[in-house]
């Protein structure tokens, strides 16, 4: 049927045409013609970059190579699971990956005869409908707003029906960890044995909140944070597609602020494009959007200013530090965020000091590699650790303070004045009147015993005490001192190969306890607290066991020694003789003795004089072994060589009974 205008019909009937602005044949006014406009179609609403450049295929996903490889192989082998659990931080592509899987399961190809594929065509009705979020068989549910059992029952009821349009029904449940406990329980049976045409895909940022009964029924994929280098390259491609140019430093700063999240980074990139193009930057013919504009948008201090601030703090220059913070504050920066940047920089410098190979890492920005490496060369680890601890507490203070600027400046002032304080070791030496540092233990000689009663501190390498390596080994401990191992680190060469599972025969009673320790805790406890050594003459050991001790202790120790050393000649006999004190009693006596010596030490006396309310705490002697006793090889060496001591139970001798020849 052909529809003609009023003017055409009038001409065919021989009637005059009505005026253009007059009434029609039937008395109705003819509307004026619309003006001819080339672009009459309304403009499409703007889509943010995170939605506009959302990946539609596995090839578009960045930073998730492991997950993509596994999923591709699963589709190629026809081993696609019925339930997936996608976990990771926000913005790494969990929901996007779920939608790609849904398209891959339902794609029919351009000809309509294709099967499940890891490369969906994007043109078939199922692909188009899923991309437009209107496919009737791909259902998405936000578990953050629908957490109850009734919501899960709707899903379970929907699984009973076959798909209406696609090949598979796909249920995508986002933030699945928000479901209630009863909702999880209601889903378990269906999740374990779903119909053949149903696939579940869960996404969560809190995997630990998902019950293990649900995790065991799913294939779990951990989507990792995207590295900063890949993020910066991706943002550069997106910006050029939008006809906007950024400097590499600006893109690196956006990638660092994104913290591994693609969506967060694209949102920041969108904001930077809007601000930069408004200021006349970023166009193909204009200057690129630079670091200063992005740093100001993010409320961050310039990276060079952060380095300058850390330099001023470490050099103890508060006026320079406060001038930098004032400049950042005037530019609208948040001083709390600035302290966080300094904290991050201290961590970076510490990593560069611990791992020098990082200086050649291309993923690290150029400023960190150059200025950070220079800081790592001249700042010692104790200073970095002290700065880290003070900044960590300072950031918390800024968050709680009524005025963030005042709190941040007070933190920096404290750091500047702490920079002038000497290390604790120098303070101790100054109080003792020693200007030079303690001499390290030499590897060619036995350790010396200073006036304090311990082994000389400051050792830089392990040495062997005793002649011909027969003594214990001296090694560094965590707090900078040294200690002596009771057992030698290397057994003497006997000319034959020993079984690695066998232990060397103990040479002393204390070595016997050390051998039992870690292998038989109950036996070791009774030997330590309730056994008195009477005689130790390998392979015969004579002991006295206190009452109410472990039944059959002697026999148990004898069996243990025979099995561990593969020597059947060991014998352990019990005796009624008094014997020595237990190892525990000997250690307690040594502790009391060292406490008395420490109390009388000139340094302790000087400290107590300055701080009258101070109290002496636990006394630790790093020269002692694990039982709190002097090493057996060094026990006699630690005493003065020209002095001999009588036994503790010796009788007192009157002055008249002494022989005059003894004093000649």
Q: What is the pLDDT of residues 266-302, one digit of tens each?
A: 999 998 888 876 655 666 666 788 888 887 777 665 6
Q: What is the DSSP track for 80-125?
A: --SEEEEE-STTSSHHHHHHHHHHHHH---TTS-----SS--S-SH
The DSSP symbol for 369 reads I
Instruction: Give strand pairing partners of 170.
Output: 138, 199
Pick the CATH number of 228-297 from 3.30.365.10, 3.40.50.720, 1.10.8.60, 1.20.1250.20: 1.10.8.60
CATH number assigned to the domain with residue range 299-418, chosen from the 4 options 2.60.120.260, 1.20.272.10, 1.10.630.10, 1.10.510.10: 1.20.272.10
Query: Rounded mean pLDDT of the chain?
Result: 77
CB 123 within 8 A of CB 99: no
Q: How many CB atoms lie within 10 A of CB 569?
A: 11
Beta-sheet strands, E only, within 262-405: none
More confident residue, 162 or 10: 162
Contact 61, 97 (CB under 8 A): yes
Mean pLDDT of 465-475: 39
Q: Is residue 342 classed as helix, strand or coil in its secondary structure?
A: helix
CA distance 306 to 365: 14
Q: Which helix (H) or strand (E) holds 545?
A: strand 540-545
Using alpha carbons only, how large is the chain's radius of gyration in Å? Answer: 40
Q: Tell me if domain 50-222 and domain 509-580 are identical in fold.
A: no
Note if the pTM is more than 0.85.
Answer: no
How big is the CA angle at 14 (ends 9 and 16), to the nearest 5 degrees?
Answer: 80
pLDDT score recorded for residue 485: 44
pLDDT greater than 50 at residue 486:
no
β-bridge pairing 138-142 and 83-87: unpaired
pLDDT of 221 reads 94
Contact 147, 153 (CB under 8 A): no
Given 2.20.28, 3.30.300, 3.90.930, 3.30.70, which CATH number is that of 509-580? 3.30.300
**Hey, what are 117's tokens?**
């594929």
Query: What are the residue ranges spanned by the domains of the chain?
Result: 50-222, 228-297, 299-418, 509-580
Q: What mean pLDDT do residues 636-648 have?
A: 42
CA–CA separation, 340 and 322 (whole Å): 16
Poorest-pLDDT segment among 334-348, 433-447, 510-524: 433-447
Q: How many CB atoms within 10 Å of residue 398?
A: 23
Average pLDDT over every residue of 621-643: 55
Q: Determine how β-strand 138-142 pairs with β-strand 169-174.
A: parallel
Q: Is the pLDDT of residue 598 over 90?
A: no
CA 448 remoteness from chain centre: 42
User: Which pLDDT tens digit goes with each residue over 328-355?
Assistant: 888 777 888 889 989 999 999 999 888 8
Query: Count H helices, E strands: the chain?
Result: 25, 11
| CA gap 248, 231 in Å, rounded | 12
CA neighbor of 216 nearest in space, from 205, 202, 233, 229? 202
178 — pLDDT class (breaks 50, 70, 90) = very high
CATH number of the structural domain 50-222: 3.40.50.300
Among the listed ranges 360-364, 451-455, 589-593, which one has the minimum average pLDDT value? 451-455
């Amino acid at each position: 049927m052909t529809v003609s205008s009023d003017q055409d019909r009038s001409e065919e009937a021989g009637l005059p045409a009505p005026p253009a602005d007059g009434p029609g044949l039937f008395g109705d006014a003819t509307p004026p013609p619309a003006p001819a406009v080339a672009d009459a179609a309304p403009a499409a609403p703007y889509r943010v970059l995170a939605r506009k450049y959302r990946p539609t295929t596995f090839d578009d996903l960045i930073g998730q190579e492991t997950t993509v490889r596994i999923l591709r192989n699963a589709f190629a082998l026809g081993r696609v699971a019925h339930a997936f659990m996608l976990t990771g931080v926000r913005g790494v592509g969990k929901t996007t990956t779920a939608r790609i899987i849904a398209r891959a399961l339902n794609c029919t190809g351009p000809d309509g005869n294709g099967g499940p594929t890891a490369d969906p065509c994007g043109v078939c009705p199922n692909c188009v409908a899923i991309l437009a979020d209107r496919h009737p068989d791909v259902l998405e549910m936000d578990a953050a707003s629908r957490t109850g059992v009734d919501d899960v029952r709707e899903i379970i009821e929907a699984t009973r029906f076959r798909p209406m349009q696609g090949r598979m029904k796909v249920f995508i449940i986002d933030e699945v960890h928000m479901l209630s406990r009863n909702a999880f329980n209601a889903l378990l049976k269906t999740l374990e044995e779903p119909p053949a045409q149903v696939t579940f895909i869960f996404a969560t940022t809190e995997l630990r909140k998902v019950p293990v009964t649900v995790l065991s029924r799913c294939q779990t994929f951990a989507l990792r944070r995207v590295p900063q280098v890949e993020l910066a390259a991706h943002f550069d491609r997106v910006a050029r597609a939008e006809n906007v140019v950024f400097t590499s430093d600006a893109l690196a700063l956006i990638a660092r602020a994104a913290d591994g999240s693609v969506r967060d980074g694209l949102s920041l990139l969108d904001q930077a494009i809007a601000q930069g193009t408004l200021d006349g930057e970023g166009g193909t013919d204009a200057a690129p959007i630079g670091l200063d504009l992005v740093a100001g948008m993010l409320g961050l201090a310039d990276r060079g200013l952060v380095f300058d601030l850390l330099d001023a703090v470490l050099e103890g220059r508060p006026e320079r530090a406060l001038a930098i913070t004032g400049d950042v504050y005037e530019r609208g920066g948040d001083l709390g965020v600035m302290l966080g940047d300094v904290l991050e920089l201290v961590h970076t410098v510490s990593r560069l000091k611990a791992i020098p190979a990082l200086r050649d890492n291309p993923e690290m920005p150029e400023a960190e590699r150059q200025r950070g490496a220079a800081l790592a060369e001249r700042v010692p680890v104790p200073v970095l650790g002290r700065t880290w601890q003070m900044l960590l507490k300072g950031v918390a203070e800024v968050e709680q303070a009524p005025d963030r600027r005042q709190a941040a400046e007070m933190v920096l002032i404290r750091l500047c004045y702490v920079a002038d304080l000497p290390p604790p070791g120098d303070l101790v030496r100054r109080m003792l009147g020693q200007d030079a540092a303690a001499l390290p233990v030499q590897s060619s000689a036995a350790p010396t015993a200073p006036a304090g009663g311990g082994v000389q501190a400051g050792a830089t390498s392990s040495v062997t005490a005793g002649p011909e390596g027969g003594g214990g080994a001296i090694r560094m401990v965590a707090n900078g001192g040294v200690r002596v191992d009771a057992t030698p680190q290397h057994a003497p060469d006997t000319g034959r190969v020993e079984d690695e599972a066998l232990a060397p025969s103990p040479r002393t009673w204390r070595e016997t306890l050390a051998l039992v320790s870690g292998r038989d805790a109950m036996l070791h406890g009774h030997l330590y607290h309730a056994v008195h050594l009477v005689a130790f003459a390998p392979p015969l050991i004579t002991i006295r066991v206190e009452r109410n001790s472990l039944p059959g202790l002697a026999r148990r120790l004898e069996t243990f020694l025979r099995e561990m050393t593969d020597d059947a000649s060991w014998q352990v006999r019990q005796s009624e003789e008094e014997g020595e004190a237990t190892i525990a009693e000997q250690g307690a006596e040594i502790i009391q003795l060292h406490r008395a010596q420490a109390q009388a030490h000139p340094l302790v006396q000087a400290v107590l004089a300055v701080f009258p309310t101070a109290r002496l705490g636990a006394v630790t002697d790093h020269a002692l072994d694990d039982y709190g006793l002097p090493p057996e090889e060094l026990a006699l060496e630690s005493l003065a060589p020209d002095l001999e001591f009588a036994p503790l139970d010796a009788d007192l001798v009157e002055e008249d009974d002494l022989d005059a020849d003894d004093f000649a």
